[in-house]
Structure formats: structure tokens, C-alpha cells
Amino acid sequence: METINFILDNTIMNTTFQAWISVLFTLMMLSFLFKDNPLYKLGENTFLGISLGYGWVKLWELSVVPFLIRPIKDAYLDFQPYDLTMIFWLLMGFTMFFRFSRTKAWVANYYFAFLFAYIAGYEIPVQVQQLFIQGSNMMKPLLEYPTFFEISKWFVIIFGTFSALMYFFFSKPQKGLLGRTARIGIIILMINFGSSFGATVMGRIALFIGRAQVLAADWFATMVLSSLIIVFLFVYFKFIHKEPGLDDEQMH
Amino acid sequence: MEKFINILKKLDRRWIFLMIFLSCIIPFWIPSLFDQEFSTTKETQRVYDIVDGLKENDAVFLDWAFDPTLQAELLPMAEQFLKQCFDKKIRVFIYYPFISAISLGENMLESIKKEEKYSYIENGVDFIHLGYLPIGVDMMMFSMYSDFKSTFGKEGKIFRGIKTFNDIKYLMAFAGSTYPESYILLQRRFGFKMGAGVTAVTGPDFVPYLQTGQLDGMLFGLKGAAEYENLRISKGAEKKLNHRANAGMASLTLSHLVMFLFIGLGNLIYFYDRKHKKN
């Protein structure tokens, strides 16, 4: 046991080792930007495997044990009438497995019926309430808005929404006033798509900055490992990897 | 000109990746070159003011709905929010709706504890990890409004005086998805005060809730986090220990400049080609 602890302390639990592994896997994943290669595949599969393994262990520890196994054990040792509700829902949960049977799949429908009824019963009123809150906020007198900018926002929202809807109105030819409104509508839609795209790019860059922080913090590891990865990619694509020929392409 | 346009047309996309990569990483190595100042939005100011206005021993509820994939934007926000709460001696209840978020939150608190100023903070006294519950926000809220402590089955001095969610002064949800909407849906029903810290991608979805007052304060993307850091620094927080988002802002700016450059060049090629085709 001591040997195992020694190995763990000097590998997985060692902060320097952790930092190098973090840099190595970041660079391995980024190597895909050059070309699909075995290092990227290794990084991808390692990530998936660790994520799934970690997720399952945590799910078992934080969800299955405290909310299923422990209550059942307690009920077995000291049964109380209210434990019947737990057993009822446990059995209801198990009915989901009937989905695997072709002839008895209908049994699972009772559980789904309850689930959908609950979701509809809860969601519909709160979503309608949400619509009223948003709608009533737009119906305030314009002079109640504190600044001219706020008032202009109101016009943009109301007329922007209307003109964007008109763009999808195909019951009449889009000429004259309808055509001009639809033209404003498409401009509004383009501005919307543009801003969404801009925000997405900014978000993606921000995500990469998270990785760049790791690489910049351990610059020595970054230099050494990126050099090794470049050498590997050169050797792999120059001498090992065979470009698919005509015969290979035909096979696919 | 035509030679230059032809070079640009044949430019391998990997050179663009390399430029973006360098523009992100160089500012971390030479931070002084890219120092910049920017104004604070009223949404960020609002979050700061709300926490600043709370009294000693008040309690806030922090919903930590992000995992390491979103830490670049959301971790600096959460860090500053926690530090501001600890500065004001406000109790923090941290809930994790996703299993993958737990270790990130625990590590963050451990790293805050390592700072001399916050070495006194203790789990169960100044903050508590409420853990994960395999139930939706709706059921959790109903339960918290009935009995706060028994919802999570945790013990500690921190629960002193907290019977239901009514005793919580502010709810702050950090997420990279539309998850905080689950709280917003219940906000009017229960009347709690809440804010959100969201990524740049999801930020625009929450603006309508600011206008109706359902959201009281919002931190928006990396810039929101940097603004929050600057607010704390302006009130005496040490810059060296509170610059995670500001360090990223220089990268964000430089990488955007590189992108603008390539967008400009792309447009130049397009208009040049169009003009020459006409001729």
C-alpha cells in the first residue's frame, strides 16, 4: 500500500506532474488544428473516458447512495408507513426498463404520463406568467422611461419585432409598404444574427483564453511539449501516415 | 496589389489559427504592453452595490452551475463575488446543480483560503458547500421555502437564523447556459432578489429580465468579470491577487484586433474580386 501511495504522490498527486499533464493534453487537443492525428485521438478518448468514469463515480456517491440505497437500507432496518411512498416511486422508476420489451413497453407509459403531467402543470403557468411580466413591462407609458435611449429601445423592440414578422408573411407579395417593412425586418434579423455570432466568437475566444492561461503559466512545459509534439507530427505525417490513395477512397 | 490579393487568397487557414493562438498567449507574457482601462456597466455595478449594501451575518445563496469548461469566464466572477462576501462577513451557501461543478468550487474555496486575508474562513461557518441534489430547481425552491436546512441535510453554525429561503438576501447564479431562467421563472412567485453571472454567449438571453427587474444585476462574460475585479481593486483589494479576468482581457482585445484584421482582409479580397469581375 505504501508503494502505491508513493507512486501516486509522485505522479498523479504531484502538482508539477499535474501542470505538465494539463499542458500536454491542451496541446494534444490543439494539434487537431494542424491535422487529425493520433495525439488528438488519444487526448479525445482519454477526456471522454475520464469524464464518464468520474461522472459515474460521483453520480453513484452523490445521488444513488444517499437517495436510493441508504433510504432502502433504513426502511429495511426500521420500516415506517411513509417508506411506502419511496417504494412506490422506486417501482415506478423501474417501469422505465419495460421500454426494452416490445410487448410490455406500455407499462413505462404510466411513469411518463405522470412526468409529462407534472412538467406541463408546473411549466405552463410559470411560462404564461413570464409572458405577462415581459408583456406588461412593454406596456408602460413611454414617458416613464428614464432616458431617451430607453425610449428608443422600446421603438426598436416593437417595430423591429413587427417588421421581422412581416418578413415571414408570404400571403401577399412583398411590394410597397409590406416590402419596405420586410426589408427593415431582414436588416433587424441580420443585426441579431451578427450580434449573436459576435457574442459566440467572443465566448469561444474567452474559453481558449482559459487554456492560454494554463499554457502561459507553465511556459517551460509549453515550450518543451510543443516542440516534442511538432517533431512527432512531422515524423508521423512524413514517414508513418499514408495518405488515402484512390483504392482506399473507393473502398470508403 | 494583385500579387498581395493572391497570397491572401491562398493563405492556409492554419496561419490564422497560429495568429489567434499567439495573440491570446503573448499578452500573458508581456502584460504591461496591453494594459487597458474600461468603464463599468451598470449591471456589474448593481451586483457590487447589492453585496456591498448587505450587513454582517447576512446570507447569500450562490448557485455554481458551471464546470471547468467555462472557468475562463465564470471562475473570476465567482472568485470576486465570494471574496466580496467574505470581506463583508456575509455567509455564503454554495449549491452545485451539476456533479462536474463540485470539485471546481471546492478548489476555488481552498485557493481563496490560502490568501492570508481569508485564511480564517471555514466550511460550515463562513460558507458551506451544499452539494448536489438530483432534483430540479422548482422542487428545490419549494423545499427551501418550507425548510432550508433539511433540504440539503447539512449541519453547521452557518445555518443559525436561516429557517427558510426568505432569510437569504440575494441569490447569485453563475452559469454558461440558460439554467438561471429556472430561478427567474420562480422569482415573481417567491419575490426573492437575484442576479446572474453568465458567459458572453448566453448573456443576451438575459437582457429582457434586467429590463423587467426580474434580474437585479448581471455579470456578462469576461469583461463583466474584469469590471467586477476593478471595482474591488478600486475599493482596496490587492491587484496582484485579483487580476484573473483583467489578465484575460488583454488577450481578448488583441485576439479581437487580429480577427478584425482578417475580417478586413477578407472583405478587401471580396470587393477587389467583385470590382475586377465587373471590369
| Dihedral in degrees, nearest 10, Cα atoms A37, A43, A48, A53 | 150
CA–CA distance, A2 with A136 (Å, rounded to integer): 68
Question: Tell me, what's the pLDDT at B1?
Answer: 79
What whole-number percentage of chain B has pLDDT above 70?
99
* Segment B69-75 mean pLDDT: 90
Residues A153, A158: Cα–Cα separation, whole Å = 9
Residue carrying C-alpha cell 492556409: B12
Question: Which has the minimum average pLDDT: A238-242, B106-110, B129-133, B266-270?
Answer: A238-242
Whether the ipTM is more than 0.90: the answer is no
Whole-number average pLDDT of chain A? 88
Fold of B42-249: Rossmann fold (3.40.50)
The pLDDT score that the predictor gives to residue B279 is: 64
Average pLDDT of span A147-156: 86
A207 touches chain B (CB under 8 A): yes
Q: Report pLDDT digits (tens) over A220-230.
A: 999 999 999 99
Phi-psi region of B168 (alpha: psi -120 to 50; beta: other; left: phi over 0): beta
pLDDT at residue A149 in the model = 86
Nearest C-alpha in B relative to A64? B134
> How open is the CA angle A106-A110-A111, to the nearest 5 degrees?
115
- With cut-offs at 50, 70 and 90, classify the pLDDT of residue B111: very high
Give the pLDDT of residue A252: 45
Residue with cell 454567449: B201
Is pLDDT above 70 for A130?
yes
How far A48 CA lies from chain B's nearest CA (Å)? 13
Tens of pLDDT along B27-55? 888 877 777 788 899 999 999 999 999 99
- The confidence score (pLDDT) of residue A157 equals 87
A231 touches chain B (CB under 8 A): no
> Which band of pLDDT confidence, cut at 50, 70 and 90, is reported for residue B278?
low
d(CA B176, CA B165): 24
Nearest to B25 among A122, A127, A212 (CB): A212
Of A55, A129, A195, the CB nearest to B99: A55
Query: Cα(B79)–Cα(B87) distance, rounded to whole angstroms?
Result: 12
**Domain residue spans of chain B:** 42-249
Does A212 reach chain B within 8 Å, measured CB to CB? yes
Please tell me the predicted confidence (pLDDT) of residue A151. Answer: 87
Q: For residue B252, is it left (φ>0), alpha (ψ between -120 and 50) or beta? A: alpha
Residue B236 has pLDDT above 80, yes or no: yes
The whole-number pLDDT of residue A207 equals 84
Q: Report chain A residues whose CB lies below 8 A from the CB of B185.
A: 126-127, 129-130
> Given B20, B212, B256, which is nearest A133 (Cβ)?
B212
A89-93, B29-33, B63-67, B234-238: range with lowest mean pLDDT = B29-33
Q: What is the pLDDT of residues A163-207, one digit of tens each?
A: 999 999 888 888 889 999 999 999 999 999 998 888 888 888 888
A82-124: per-residue pLDDT in tens?
888 888 888 998 999 999 999 999 999 999 999 899 889 988 9
Torsion angle in degrees (nearest 10) through CA of B44, B46, B47, B52: 130
CB contact under 8 A, A209 and B251: yes
Most A CBs within 10 A among B103, B255, B262, hence the mutation to make, goes to B255
Does the pLDDT of residue A49 top 90, yes or no? yes
CB–CB of B39/B72 below 8 Å?
no
pLDDT at B201: 86
